[in-house]
Structures are given as C-alpha cells and as structure tokens.
Amino acid sequence: MKITFDKIVALGNDFIIIDNRNNKINIDSEIIKKIAPRRTGIGADGVLILERSETYDFSMVYFNQDGSRASLCGNGARSLILYAHNHGIGKEKVKFISDASVHEGMVVNGIPIVSMPGTKAYYGKIDNFYFLNTGVPHAVVITENLDFDIDKLAKPIRFHPKVMPDGTNVDFIKISNEIYARVYERGVEGETLSCGTGAIAIAHIANLILKKPYPIKINFKGGTLTVDKDKDNNTWLSGNAKLVYTGFINI
C-alpha cells in the first residue's frame, strides 16, 4: 500500500499528515508504529489523518508516535489547518472536528491559528503539580530552574497514581518577565520541543495562579506559542508552522 503524506513542523513538533477523505486507507496503530519512528520510519511526534466529515470541512484523527490515539493535539491541529490551506481544502476559515471538540482555524500572514476547547477540567494541585485537562491531561510544575534531566523528573508525574490509568503530559515552567517551558509528552515518552495543549494548560495556570493577563506567550525550546481569549472567552492558539517536505511510503 502506497501512502502519500506531507511532513509539517510546528515549533519543533513534527507531524506526518495524510489525506484519507476518500477512505481508501485503513490506518491503524500498527501502521502508525511503522511510519512514525525516527530510525525505521519517516519520523514524527505524531500522525494526523484528515478524514471526511458530513458536517464540517473535515475531521481530524490524531495518533501519537507510539500508535496510541489521542483526542487532541494543538500543534497538530494548527499543522492540519496549514495542510488544508496549502491543498485548497475548505474556505479561508475552516471548521473541523477532533475527538475532543469542534474547532475553527485560519492562516493569517502564514501563521496557522486554531480555536481550542480551553480548559475542560481543572483538578487543582496534587503534590507539586497542577493537574488539568485541555483536551488531553496536563500536569504543570512551576520551577525556578529548567536545567535538569526531564525524563527523571517527569516520569514519576507522568505515571502518578492520582492521574492513572490514562497518565498525563508534564509541563515544567519558569516564570520571570516571560514564561519559559519544557514539556514531556505521553505517547512520545520523552521531551518534545513544544506542545499546543500544553501551552493552553500553562496559560491557564499562569492566569489563574500567577494572575498573568491574556494574551500569554510561552517560550518553548522550539519557539513561542501564543494563547489568547476573545470577547466570548474562546481560546485561540497561534504560532509558526511550516511544510518541510512531501513524499510517499510503501507499507
């Protein structure tokens, strides 16, 4: 089976994007585990499948690198908007559905922007982290130093008994005049260079606990994401993304 794809990078988060609106490809976790690994496949943090929708411009299906399906990925959603823009799918403003919610998106001056579900649930502080759900679970840790072994510090939180059985992504933030962050993503089981749903979680904590006003900029290793609220309190996520290459792979 020959699969055509685009590779898009959003602030260091990289994605394989496949258009399956004709429903000719039966993509499951086993296929994801063949194409997503960096040494034996194309290499990506995740795989986005653009599916047909009877109600919206398209639907978004997201798989983590390890083949597990996730309900949402913020940078992935922005990458999918850029893909739709590049391929003439939908209108100038698109509307699509993920496993988490309905989204609107557009490309403004080359920057893909997406509406997000915001904070779906806030559970408060557990031990040394704030736990919330922004489409997927996130633990936010406020620290004075970001120079550490992230695997060592993140894994006990990733599999903390109070966040199981699903586990959680883990975001470490340092706040001075600006917000700096590092993120450990479940499904990748390691550090990624940025995270969209993580940015939403960090912005919520920065606003709620530290009284930072929106718009809030979060500086990741891969670049800066901006989280904003409109007059109706809708949440929007924006930041750079770019097409790296197109290709095909035989499975």
Is 195 in the active site?
yes
Give which of 113, 175, 117, 166 is closest to 139, Cα–Cα: 166
The β-bridge partners of 88 are none
Residue in the structure block whose two tokens are 């499975």? 251
Is 73 in the active site?
yes
* Structure tokens, 66: 């390890």
Catalytic site residue from 106, 188, 195, 216? 195
Rounded Cα distance between 200 and 236, Å, is 9
Rounded Cα distance between 38 and 109, Å, is 31
Name the H helices within the chain.
29-35, 74-87, 150-158, 196-208
Rounded Cα distance between 225 and 178, Å, is 12
Backbone angles phi, psi at 176, to 5 degrees: -125, -120
Catalytic site residue from 73, 82, 201, 202? 73
How crowded is residue 173: how many other Cβ atoms within 10 Å of its Cβ?
Answer: 23
3-state SS class at 178: coil
Q: Which residues are catalytic?
A: 73, 195
